Every structure is written in C-alpha cells, then in structure tokens.
Amino acid sequence: MGKMIARRIKSNPHFDMIYYMELAGQTRVEQNLLVQLQERWNRWRDQYLSVWKLLPEFAKEDKGYLLVWLDKAVEDEVEVDWQKSPALGLASHNLAICLCMSTVQSLTPELLDGACAPLPRPDKTMRSQLKRMGLEWNPEGRVDRTYAVLTNHPYAGGCELCLMQESCMNSTTRGTAQGAEPVAEQDDLEAAAPTEPKPE
C-alpha cells in the first residue's frame, strides 16, 4: 500500500454575509444575529477549523486532495443552539457549512464561478491517512464529522468525478454513469448537506 503525505494549510476565510444568506436561502439577517454569527465565525475559524492538503506519495504537479473540517466542539455548539431555538440552531448549522465552503473556495478559485466540489472515492491509502488524522470514513460515504469537505485539489472536474453523482439532486450526470438506471427529471432542490461537498 502506498503512502499519503498530509500537509497543513493556513487559511483565513472572511465572513461573507451575502454568501451566507444565499446558502441559507435568506434575504436579510437581523443585526443582533449578524453580530453573533461574526463572533462565532472568528472563533470557530481560529480554534476549530482544520485544513489539510493530502498528497499521494508520488503525486505529480501537486495533484492531491483538499480536506477541511470543523471539530466536534462546533457540532456540540450547534446542537445546544437547536435546543435553545430552532432558528438559532439553523443559523449556526448554516454558518458551519458556510465556513467550510468558504475555506474550500478560497483555495480553489474555480468554485467561485459556481463549479462543484466533487467528493472523491477514498482508496485504502487515503482511508488509512484519515484514520491517522483522527477521522473515520463511514459506510454512508463520508467522514465522521458533520461539517467537512473532501475534494480534489487542484480542481480536476465536477460531477463526473463525484462519489455522489447518482444521488445528488444537483448532479448533471445522474443516470448517465455506466450501468446506471435512467432517472426521471426532478425539480432542482437546494439541500445543504453538511458533510457533502456543496455546491454539487
């Protein structure tokens, strides 16, 4: 089995209120909530955000993967917010997703133009590396952190590379993969899945 090199990346994404509102499907945010979101963004980013570049041992041209996640402390904080108020819980949940995606976008310019962040299928080498980093690849096809993104880096393509291409509502290749059954056209629903690369 080959080896994988893990290299920590410094990232300092700034809170973009417009992007947050787009992701949350909102047209305005109350000032007092906005202050809370900004404070949490800074704290979560500085204390709980992990950003890594994963490179196969003999990778060429720095081709590898970008892994971003928020520690379990953020999941616990969001859960407390849900108990206090569904509205606050949803706001915190969306903020965590926004932080992960903003981090990925800051390191992958193609995503700023609306491209997807496809989820690769980890091989045994990558799964072993994830385990060494304290993460597990679960049977559902994602790491065991609620707020995480794993994608190709540098950008290598969209839906055609994604593990979720047959189940993602935004996929442009559903039903076209070899051996896949045709699927009926459905409305393009926005469903922010915290541990799936989004947008897809």
Could you read off the pLDDT of 117-149 as tens digits, one per residue?
Answer: 767 778 888 889 999 999 998 877 788 999 999
CB atoms within 10 A of CB 38: 14
Q: What is the mean pLDDT of residues 99-127?
A: 82
Q: Is the pLDDT of residue 192 over 80?
A: no
pTM, 2 dp: 0.77
* Residue 48 clears pLDDT 90, i.e. is over it: yes
Q: How far apart are CA 102 and CA 38, in angstroms?
A: 14
Answer with the residue of higher pLDDT: 167 or 100.
100
According to the CATH classification, is domain 4-161 in 3.30.460.10?
A: no
Where residue 183 falls among pLDDT bands split at 50, 70, 90? very low
Domain ranges, ordered by start, for the chain: 4-161
How does 88-97 read in b/e, with b if 16+ C-beta sit within 10 Å? bbebbbbbbb
Cis peptide before 182 (omega within 30 of 0): no
